[in-house]
Amino acid sequence: MREYLKFYIDGKWVDPTTPKTVEVINPATEAVSGTISLGSAADVDKAVAAARRAFATWGETSVKDRLDILQAIQSEYAKRSDELGDAVVEEMGAPVSLGRGFHVGLGAGHLQTAIEVLKEFQFEQQRGATLIRYEPIGVCGLITPWNWPMNQTCVKIFPALASGCTMILKPPQLAPYSAQILAEIIHDAGTPAGVFNMIQGQGSVIGNALSTHQDVDMISFTGSEPVGVQIQKDAADTVKRVGLELGGKSAWIVLDDADMANNVAGATGGMMGNSGQTCSAGSRLLVPASRLEEAIKASADACNAVSVGDPNGNFAMGPVVSKSQFNIIQDYIQKGLDEGAQLIAGGLGRPEGLDKGWYVKPTVFVTNNDTVIAREEIFGPVLVVIPYNDVDDAIRIANDSNFGLGGYVSGSDADECRRVARKMRTGAIWINGGFDFHAPFGGYKRSGNGREWGEYGFHEYLEIKSIIG
C-alpha cells in the first residue's frame, strides 16, 4: 500500500496546508492501492513563491550548470527505472512489459534529448547589429495527464529545466505514483531548492490556481479539449503563455498496395496499445473501398489476437485507467451499435473470464466518417474502419475532423506516403512506423497549440529579446 501524503516544495517534502486525502484505485483489481494528499490554492501559493525565488538564480545559470543537473537526474533515473515502471503498472494498469519498457523509456528519451539539445542550443544569435537572445520565460505550471505519465511529465520538466525555468508540476490524480518517484529522483540529483516543485491534487483546484496565479508566467497542459479551453480562459486575465496538447481523432491511411492487409493488421494492433489511451492513436483506419472485405478480415483477426489480462502477466493489453473511463468507452460502443456501425470484433462488456478490473474488449467497427464514433475521441481500444474511394478521398476524410494531432500513412512507396502526408492537416505524421525524439509534436485545430519534443519543445519555455544597436 502506497502512502504519499507530502508535497515537494522549495527542496523539501512538506505537509499540505489543509490535510485532505483521496484513495487511489488499482484499475486491474478495483482495490485501493494507496493514498495521496490533495493540495489547495494555499499550497500553490507556497510553491509559486519558492519557484519565483529560485528563478532569480536558476534563470541565470550557465549551460554547464544545467547540463550537470540534467546528467545527475539521468543517473538517478536509470537507477530507479524499474521502480518507475512498476508504479505505472500499478497506477494505470499498463502491462509490465510496457510500463517498464516504452513508458519509462519515453521519459528517459526526453531527458537524453533535452541534454543533446541543450549542448547545441544557441541562446544568443547576432544578426547584423542586433543581438537576439532566448531567455527563460520564468515560473511554469505543468499540468499532466494519466495516460502516458512518464512521457507527458518528462517532455515538460526537462526542456523547462534546460531552458532555465522553474516550475510547479501538477501530476494526474489517477496516476500519481510515478510522479512522486520522479520528484524524489530530481531531489536526489541535487536540483536546487525551488527550481522544481510538485503538488498532487485535483485539476479543478490546482490547475485553476496555477492558471490564474499572477506570478506564474506560463502554463503547459496536456489533456482534454474542454479543460484546455478553460485553462486558456483562466490564464487570459494575466496574459500568460499557454501551451496546449489536447485531443485527437487521428487518421491512419493504408495505401492500396501489396502490403495492404499486413499494414491494416499492424495499424489495428497499434491502436490497442496502452488500451487505446493515446491522444495521437490512429483511431480512424482508412482503407481502400475496393478491398474492404480483405481489410475487414485483417483488422478483425488482428484485434481478436490481442490478449487482455493481468498487467503483471504476459498479456498485450491491461485495463483502462478507471471505472469512469470504462463507462465512457462502453457508452461509445453502444452508440456505435445504435448508429448501425458494423461490429467486426469486440463489443460491449469485459473480455471473457475477466470479472474484476476495468478491462475493455478490443473493438473494431466499420462505419463512415459522419458517425459519432468516427468524430469524437473515445480514448479506449475502439477502432473505426472507414473505406475510401481513392487517395484524394482518403486525404479528404482524414482532414474532415475537428482535431489535428497525429496521423499515419502506411505503404510501400515512400514518395507517395510523403505526398499524402504533406496534404494531411495535422501536427505529426508517422510513415511506416517512423519515430524521432527530436521531431516536434503538437496539434492543428482543436488539438491544441505549441510544440513539444526536441529543440521545438525548448521554445515553449523561452522569451525572445532583441538588443538593437
Phi, psi at 445, each rounded to 5°: 50, -135
Q: Which three cell numbers stand for residue 444?
A: 492543428
Which amino acid type is present at position 111?
L
Burial of 56 (0-12, 13-18, 19+ CB in 10 A): exposed
Contact criterion met (CB below 8 Å) for 174 and 6: no
Distance CA 383, CA 96 (A): 24
Instruction: Decide if 3 is catalytic.
Output: no
Distance CA 201, CA 147 (A): 17
DSSP summary character for residue 276: G
DSSP summary character for residue 246: -
- Single out the catalytic residue among 245, 377, 452, 460: 245
- Single out the catalytic residue among 154, 165, 279, 303: 279
Instruction: Decide if 245 is catalytic.
Output: yes
Distance CA 146, CA 276 (A): 13
Contact criterion met (CB below 8 Å) for 407 and 251: yes
Which amino acid type is present at position 117?
V
Contact criterion met (CB below 8 Å) for 35 and 20: no
**Kind of pairing between the strands at 406-410 and 448-449:** unpaired
Residues marked active site are found at 245, 279
